[in-house]
A and B are shown apart, each in its own frame.
Chain A
Amino acid sequence: MAKSKDLNMLLAGFGGQGVLFAGKVIAYGGLMDNKEISWLPSYGPEMRGGTANCSICISDEPIGSPLVLTPNVFVAMNLPSFDRFINDVEPGGIVVVDSTLINKKVERTDVQAFYIPASRLAEENGLKGGANIILIGKLFRECGFCSREALDKAIEKCVPVHKAHLMGNNKKALEIGMSYEG
């Protein structure tokens, strides 16, 4: 099998948007494909209402530094995070933006930017708090960080037993993201 490119991903947004959960789903997706993975959250006071971000690495080789400083995949879930990290993205990298909350376009021309009004789509479809998963769906469409089968398994693994009733919503959110063009 050909060696796939290392993915160094950064997800960033407000605490409470499900940034860390979204990152966990991506990491498990890589794990289900038998890749080397790491997931490193920001921790401390910022998690409680401030900004939250997490680094995810997916690779065929053991992961060196799990802290992603120059991502080749960046998912921006709010404006402060967008502003803070957009210039750190590696040239040629992929940027996915929640355009409901970020009323800005990527000015750089050396990255591929994708816009999806994830928060609005979540609201319209009765998926409160599901914008994070919609964004993962969109990211999957654009960069296929793992196989489809692995992604389904990852969602099942990450949704805790006491929230099993939300499994359908998570899968629906994933579909919305995956089918969104633009």
Chain B
Amino acid sequence: MKGNEALAEAAIQAGCRHFFGYPITPQTELAAYMSKRMPKIGGTYLQAESEIAAINMVLGAASAGVRAMTSSSSPGISLKGEGISYIAGSDLPALIINVQRGGPGLGGIQPSQADYWQATKALGHGDFQILVFAPSTVQEMVDLVSDAFDLADTYRMPAMILADGMLGQMMEPVEIRSNEHKKPIEKPWATTGHQNKRVHNVVNSLYLQPKDLERLVRERFARYEVIKQKEQRAEEYLTEDADLVLVAYGASSRVARSAVNKAREQGFKVGLVRPITLWPFPTDVLQKNAKTAKGFLCVEMSMGQMVDDVRLAVNGAVPVDFYGRTGGMIPSPAEILTKMKEILGGAQ
């Protein structure tokens, strides 16, 4: 199954029945799959007139307490930014999928990871965060879609799957399990009609009294602290005795893993930390590795964005280097190997 189709089916299996989208390469198969499946299972597939309309439809559906989602690729996600800020400001759960391509502007259509800053720091205006998951295989995309919906519901906030053109377009074996049998998370705040039996619910992001707004933002940030404590996820590969630890997520982590294997064959002690959550950033595992490693090498398909968070986590304990390709270029294991040797050679 293609990555994009797997994302779509996983969302359906997670109980999502409301998809609002707009086509854009390299994400379109996801929307196409939804357009075929949703009408057959009593769901809603709606191709909106624009990305902005689509994200506001997600806001509306989420207000009513249903699992709602949208998907796009980089330029389209920029358009959705305003709506995502509104969703975060209204404390609503929703899933947004970004199958990244090269930027800025219309950029290109080949795989990229240049939206890290956007996803983790600046999706829209205001003080807010969203959950960001970075799968590296088609199977993991499926598993994380389900987790993303669950955690979004639990913490009442938007969640994003940050994929890229490579993961969206590739096929790998995948097992999709239905998790609709899971007990749904209660949503007493949803605007589902009070029938004069309770006080009506309000979904809103407008607070004209600074005092009120500050209180709400502080409450939200208290929740973010809990998430930072409880929800960090990362995978470690051969890090135990590693002198140099690579840090890479998503598609570039697969290339990094191949490079680590090649370097190990040649006797170099290198390992890999692969962040699975980008927000909350897996600071703990990096700090742990900073005690034993002599240095880090961050590998990205961008000019260097996640490397900022790696440096913050490592906090100057050891040097943090960077290697990246951008514009839709994918680094090769050989290029990363050369960079690793350069660093390790310099350290000796």
A27 vs B171: C-alpha distance when bound (angstroms): 9
Establish whether residues B255 and A43, one from each chain, have CB atoms under 8 Å apart when the complex forms. Answer: no
Is A24 located at the chain interface by the 8 A CB criterion? yes
Establish whether residues A69 and B254, one from each chain, have CB atoms under 8 Å apart when the complex forms. Answer: no
Min Cβ gap B143→A in Å is 15
Q: Which residue of B lies closest to A36 (CB)?
A: B173
Interface hits, A15-68 → B, CB 8 Å: 24, 27, 31, 36-41, 43-44, 62-67
Interface hits, B312-337 → A, CB 8 Å: 330, 332-334
Establish whether residues A65 and B258, one from each chain, have CB atoms under 8 Å apart when the complex forms. Answer: yes
A58 vs B333: C-alpha distance when bound (angstroms): 17
Interface hits, B144-200 → A, CB 8 Å: 165-166, 169-173
A66 vs B172: C-alpha distance when bound (angstroms): 10
Min Cβ gap A136→B in Å is 17
Is B109 located at the chain interface by the 8 A CB criterion? yes
Known contacts A43-B25, A44-B25, A67 near B330 by CB under 8 Å:
yes
Establish whether residues A39 and B170, one from each chain, have CB atoms under 8 Å apart when the complex forms. Answer: yes
Is B261 located at the chain interface by the 8 A CB criterion? yes
Establish whether residues B173 and A65, one from each chain, have CB atoms under 8 Å apart when the complex forms. Answer: no
Q: Which of under 10, 10 to 19, 20 to 34, or 35 or more describes the interface residues of A?
A: 10 to 19
Min Cβ gap B246→A in Å is 12
A28 vs B344: C-alpha distance when bound (angstroms): 40
Is B35 located at the chain interface by the 8 A CB criterion? no
User: Which of A24, A43, A64 interacts with B261 by CB under 8 Å?
Assistant: A64
Q: Which residue of B lies closest to A24 (CB)?
A: B171
A37 vs B174: C-alpha distance when bound (angstroms): 11
Complex A-B: 24 CB contacts under 8 Å: A36-B173, A38-B170, A38-B171, A39-B172, A40-B166, A40-B169, A40-B171, A43-B25, A43-B169, A44-B109, A62-B137, A63-B172, A63-B254, A64-B255, A64-B261, A64-B333, A65-B255, A65-B257, A65-B258, A66-B170, A67-B166, A67-B332, A69-B334, A70-B334
The residues of A with any CB-CB pair to B shorter than 8 Å are 24, 27, 31, 36-41, 43-44, 62-67, 69-70
Q: Which 3 A-B pairs have the closest CB atoms?
A: A64-B258, A39-B171, A65-B255
